[in-house]
Amino acid sequence: MRESFLHFIWQFQKFNATLLTTSDGLPIQVYSIGNYNTDAGPDFLNAKLLIGDITWYGHIEIHLKSSDWNRHKHQHDEAYNNVVLHVVWEHDEEVQMANGQILPVLELQNRIKPELLKKCNQLIKSPDKIPCATQFDQVKNIDKWSMLEQVGVMRLKQKSEYIHHLLEKNNGNWEETTYQLLAKNFGFKANEEPFLKLAQSLNHKILIKHAEKLEQVEALIFGMAGFLPGANEDYGLELGKEFDYLSKKYRLDNLVLMKAEWKFLRLRPGNFPTVRLAQFASFLSKNVKCFDQFIHFADQKELRMMFEFEVSSYWLKHYDFGKEGNRSTKTIGKSSIDLIMINSVAPLLAAYAQYTDEGGYMDKAVGLLQSLSPEKNHITKTWQELGMKSKDAFDTQALIGLRNDFCLKKKCLSCKIGVSLINS
């Protein structure tokens, strides 16, 4: 038995409501179940009930046992003073609200069909990473795609929360925040942490001052990344001299990363952090300030023009300092650009939409994702095998979010697909 199951039972009124009474025998009539609350506070807000001969307007709190009310310290929390009904699986003791009033209780353990609980447990206890995989073909397409649309927007909002966190640390500076977000995503999955740490150590304003000279931008980037002490070739030595001067000028010596923080293992040479840093330096040299461009671009073509840069000649023939190898491309690849748009530009638009309370930016974020090709990875492949063929990046982002935030966490009772299976 899980509390989430009782939330489902109350939300969809999946219990025997014949002669419904409180634990002390007062008749109950439900006019409105209230609004499901996923934030702090009571579980369902603004319900309407008739208990005895009195109509109540207030909140519903749900627990496995009545005693959980005291165990969760609700008796000391005035936010729960407007609870009008305590819905529980087992009523094991009387409880009081902060104002001393006895809380009316509805016990459900003898009002729920056992097969309903059995269906729920079959999903939640499934060993599969997608619990409903064996039943997935029984779900109506409208329920599947409706859930995906909900999760796609939810995933954008989740990513925007991270951006708001960065924005707060940067004292409301959107340009600095965009630079750090972009750095994180230039590192892709393997090196996102050292890339972000680098950007947080090397202020964007410093790079802006030197953007016209790519060699100085590279000196700052590679110097702060910790790669220059071991660079013995002419080019590396030149960058080292430049960084020695700039690091003293801007007092950066104590902020330099260790080379050991960067990951090379199991990466193709084209994805080495040294190559990505060179690309990042070239991008910053061309796009001095990119927040405004990311927010107000006219179309995808305009966005892609920002990535039409060439790395410096040294990096056309090297994958690392002192390690030669001809590069097949002078710039960043299309699939990498797509990932940056998916993980940087679209979430930035969503974050700005929430910050300004202007829904047009959220629409633009969704539109951008819908204009990009669907991602290909092991998660999207799994869904494809279940018949979910993605049209675009919005679909694949939604499928990734569905798997990570619902399937792996066994939140089947919060998922329209899981609910449809239990209700069937």
Q: What is the pLDDT of residues 311-326, one digit of tens each?
A: 999 998 899 998 888 7
pLDDT at 26: 95
CB within 8 Å of 277: residues ≥ 6 apart: 221, 222, 225, 227
CB within 8 Å of 170: residues ≥ 6 apart: 176, 177, 180
Looking up tokens 């049209």 gives 391
Residues 415, 406: contact at Cβ < 8 Å?
yes
Give the integer Cα–Cα distance in Å for 179 and 288: 10
pLDDT at 328: 54
Q: What percent of the chain has pLDDT over 90?
A: 81
Give the integer Cα–Cα distance in Å for 152 and 149: 5
Condensed to tens digits (0 to 9), the pLDDT of residues 163-174 reads: 999 999 999 999
Residues 294, 345: contact at Cβ < 8 Å?
yes
- From the list 415, 414, 416, 413, the residue with the least C-alpha distance to 119 is 413
- Fill in the amino acid letter for 295: I
pLDDT at 202: 97
Give the integer Cα–Cα distance in Å for 146 and 151: 9
pLDDT at 175: 97
Which pTM value belongs to this model?
0.85
Which two structure tokens, joined as six digits, stand for 104? 């009316």
pLDDT at 323: 87
pLDDT at 232: 83
Residues 10, 33: contact at Cβ < 8 Å?
yes
- From the list 221, 240, 243, 241, the residue with the least C-alpha distance to 230 is 240
Where the chain has pLDDT below 70, the residues are 327-330
